């Protein structure tokens, strides 16, 4: 049996984007071993990761990483959610810092025998499109783009007992540009860096168990970190401008995914995803001579999804799910200005013959937070409040 799957997601966000709206978590994307499993249930959408920050093939089960609008100002203390502060940068709103975008994905799966299958996946595991409007006193003119692409090959062996193992390789390319401007950056305002395209290889491995008669399945997958070595050009520093090399790791992750039938034509599904974002550091030589912590500092995240799928007729099914991601501690990067997220997704699936079409919409509430740089030390430069993202996804699968 063969399956060809194409996905596309359109996201409209209020603020900087850290993730693929209908893909999880990510700021990054992982690879779902279910791409190698034949689904016979009402909820046939498998998860992948993505992020603009883009994480996974578009699945209405998995909402967005996106970012917020904010109010620039100086906090007298780094409290988690200060609501009344006297801003030193005028208290003006930044406005939306990210436009809408579309993320396509493509995958192909082939069953060679009842026990052996393989898949090839082409997607955009990470991404960032951020631009603070000039009206922002603290960050006006700050902008950053990150573009990635990946090709992943996965091989799976399923034993007659229901247990299975899967492993694969991922070839990933990435490039980025950024410019930091605004009063919050002080003497470093006007700094820019270009990271030329680089390619590197990572791997994934995992185990799974399934019982088709009750639509039960559990899988655990580890995705390795991938280290890129970018040729970097820096400008706008008082001294130290020029060319150098910058090592950057895209983070490792663990994905636990599960589903089971709970009644006739009814399925419960969910996932837990942990990402080691603390190893994603961007430390160009020139910039770190002035700011030892580098350009970006992120904290590890854990993201939970839980949902239910229901088949209503032979052709139509529906699903609903909720998402929760843990908050960050302390101040966050203005390139990723939110702390935690909560979301809800509604979707529908239409099946006709060998064609399955899945569509969905996700609403994500992005957690309030305060951003670096610290002005003065320990005090955030801006407040990010009341931010949200909306995503629409479409997935089409052909079985032949």
> Can you give the CATH number for the domain in which 211 is found?
2.40.160.60
Contacts of 192 (CB under 8 A, 6+ apart): 177, 178, 179, 180, 234, 235, 236
What is the pLDDT, as a whole number, of residue 4?
Answer: 76
What DSSP state is assigned to residue 61? T
Domain total in the chain = 1
To the nearest whole number, what is the mean pLDDT of the chain? 81
Average pLDDT over residues 120-136: 90
pLDDT tens profile 47-58: 322 333 333 333
| CA dist list (Å): 197 to 56, 112, 128, 143, 285 | 21, 36, 15, 18, 18
- Quote the tokens at residue 191: 């700094």
Nearest C-alpha neighbor of 46 from the set 54, 57, 111, 217: 57
Counted residue by residue, the chain has a size of 400
- The residue segments making up the domain with residue 247 are 2-399
Average pLDDT over residues 140-165: 95
Rounded distance between C-alpha atoms, residue 54 and residue 28, angstroms: 6
Rounded distance between C-alpha atoms, residue 345 and residue 347, angstroms: 7
Which range is least confidently modeled, 64-68, 240-244, 347-351?
64-68
| pLDDT exceeds 50 at position 33 | no
pLDDT tens profile 49-104: 233 333 333 333 333 333 333 333 323 233 334 433 545 566 667 777 777 778 88
Cα-Cα-Cα-Cα dihedral of 38, 261, 25, 167, to 10°? -40
Q: What is the DSSP string of 207-224?
A: EEEEEGGGTEEEEEEEE-
pLDDT tens profile 292-306: 989 988 999 999 999
- Taking a C-beta distance cutoff of 8 angstroms, is the pair 30, 20 a contact? no
Q: Which residue has the tokens 């208290």?
A: 91
Nearest C-alpha neighbor of 121 from the set 62, 33, 198, 61: 33
Give the 3-state secondary structure of residue 56: coil
Rounded distance between C-alpha atoms, residue 199 and residue 316, angstroms: 42
């Amino acid at each position: 049996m063969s399956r060809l799957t194409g996905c596309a997601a359109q996201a409209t966000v209020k603020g900087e984007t850290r993730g693929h709206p209908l893909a999880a978590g990510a700021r990054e994307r992982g690879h779902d071993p279910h791409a190698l499993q034949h689904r016979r249930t009402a909820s046939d959408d498998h998860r992948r990761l993505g992020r603009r920050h883009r994480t996974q093939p578009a699945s209405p089960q998995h909402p967005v990483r996106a970012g917020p609008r904010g109010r620039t100002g100086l906090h007298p203390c780094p409290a988690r959610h200060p609501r009344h502060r006297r801003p030193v940068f005028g208290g003006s709103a930044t406005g939306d810092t990210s436009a809408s975008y579309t993320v396509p994905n493509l995958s192909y799966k082939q069953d060679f025998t009842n026990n052996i299958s393989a898949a090839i996946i082409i997607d955009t595991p990470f991404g960032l499109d951020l631009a603070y409007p000039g009206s922002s006193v603290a960050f006006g003119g700050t902008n950053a783009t990150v573009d990635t692409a990946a090709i992943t090959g996965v091989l799976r062996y399923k034993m007659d007992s229901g247990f299975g193992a899967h492993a694969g390789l991922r070839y990933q390319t990435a490039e980025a540009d950024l410019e930091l401007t605004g009063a919050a950056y002080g003497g470093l305002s006007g700094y820019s860096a270009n990271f030329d395209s680089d390619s590197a290889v990572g791997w994934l491995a995992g185990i799974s168990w399934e019982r088709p008669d009750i639509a039960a399945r559990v899988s655990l997958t580890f995705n390795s970190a991938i280290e890129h070595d970018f040729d970097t050009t820096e400008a706008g520093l008082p001294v130290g401008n020029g060319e150098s090399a910058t090592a950057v790791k895209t983070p490792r992750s663990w994905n636990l995914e599960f589903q089971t039938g709970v009644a006739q034509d009814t399925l419960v599904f969910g996932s837990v995803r942990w990402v080691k974002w603390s190893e994603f550091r961007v430390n160009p030589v020139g910039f770190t001579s002035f700011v030892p912590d580098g350009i970006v500092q992120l904290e590890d995240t854990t993201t939970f999804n839980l949902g239910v799928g229901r088949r209503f007729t032979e052709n139509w099914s529906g699903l609903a799910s909720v998402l929760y991601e843990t908050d960050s501690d302390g101040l966050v990067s203005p390139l990723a200005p939110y702390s935690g997220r909560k979301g809800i997704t509604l979707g529908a699936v239409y099946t006709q013959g060998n064609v399955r079409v899945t569509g969905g919409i996700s609403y994500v509430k992005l957690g309030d937070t305060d951003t670096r740089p610290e002005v003065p030390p320990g005090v955030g430069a801006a407040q990010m409040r009341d931010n949200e993202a909306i995503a629409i996804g479409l997935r089409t699968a052909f079985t032949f």
